[in-house]
Amino acid sequence: MQEIGLVGVGEAGARFMDWLMEAGYDVTCYDRGHQIDYAREQGATVVSTRAEVAEHTDAIVLSVTGTTNVEAIMEGDDGLLNVTEPEQVIMDTSTIDVSAAVKYEQKCAERGVHWVSAPWTSNAPAGGLIMFPGGDDASIKAANDLIETCSTQHYRFDSVEETMVFKYLMQIRYAARVAIDAEIVEIANAADVDAEPLNSVLGMDLDEALFTGEYAEKGEGLSTLDSWDKDLGYAVSYGRGTDAKKDGIAMPLTSMVHEVYKHGNRIADPDERHAAAVARYWKALNQN
């Protein structure tokens, strides 16, 4: 495996590209946004269509924002489903709907193409970029060098469904924690009580942005607020469609937190990155 295609050169995609090039891979990039300029500046090969990414490459990394983007890349006359060849690898690092991950794994298998779902996080207390690859044994083996290069550590799941649900679990935990912390700080503000000792005295590690109100975007790509809104929506949709005694999986708290993010997203400014901006939701409720 020497020739790697990369679709999406945003904040995460640029990181993958840098690591791949440092490891000696030849990287061919496609992106419709101005981020493609970074790839060109770093010496990657830049192409103008999705189909060209698949030409002469052993593997393709998808680094986009969600199901709709992955569908656009995979489908159509120049979509990857129509141009990839047997034994090529597609590693999707996006967080997408479980049904889409399963669908594309099956469609790739029909062409003899390996599909690996590999969502990731760089926000865990463990540190580094941790990837969660999932897929059949042959696909994981074929993508192993790619997984090793694009992550500082990884944990393998046996199926694309398992790995995507695990990513949902992680996002639920992150989002719910910030949402309740935002409400705690807003209660304190409304009652004119200093909440800062929760951090300085008790060491509870509430996000400083909740106290400062500074939620400015860091870098490019999908903001944390947008991504948690999206990912919680996938989680709730998955729960409703899962046959747990034919009633689905009960997710009352996740559903409630998802609503908070949906409405907080409408209130937050476009350039605000952090999900702590859901604090604006409570401020609006309290007319502050």
Predicted pLDDT at 77: 86
Neighbours of 249 (CB within 10 A): 16
244-247 long-range contacts, CB within 8 A, separation 24+:
none
- Give the percent of the chain with pLDDT over 70: 94
227: pLDDT confidence band, cut at 50, 70 and 90? confident
Per-residue pLDDT tens over the stretch 94-112? 999 999 999 999 999 999 9
The answer to whether 63 and 13 have CB atoms below 8 angstroms apart is yes
| Order of strands, sheet of 130-131, starting from the edge strand that comes earlier in the sequence | 120-121, 130-131, 153-154
223: pLDDT confidence band, cut at 50, 70 and 90? low
Count of helix runs (H) and strand runs (E) in the chain: 14, 9
Predicted pLDDT at 273: 67
- pTM of this prediction? 0.92
SS3 100: helix
Per-residue pLDDT tens over the stretch 44-69? 999 999 999 998 899 999 999 899 99
Separation of first and last alpha carbons in the chain: 57
pLDDT at 35 over 80: yes
Predicted pLDDT at 170: 95
Q: Dihedrals φ, ψ of 119, to 5°?
A: -65, 165
Predicted pLDDT at 82: 93
What domains, with CATH codes, occur in the chain?
Answer: 3-158 (3.40.50.720), 163-285 (1.10.1040.10)
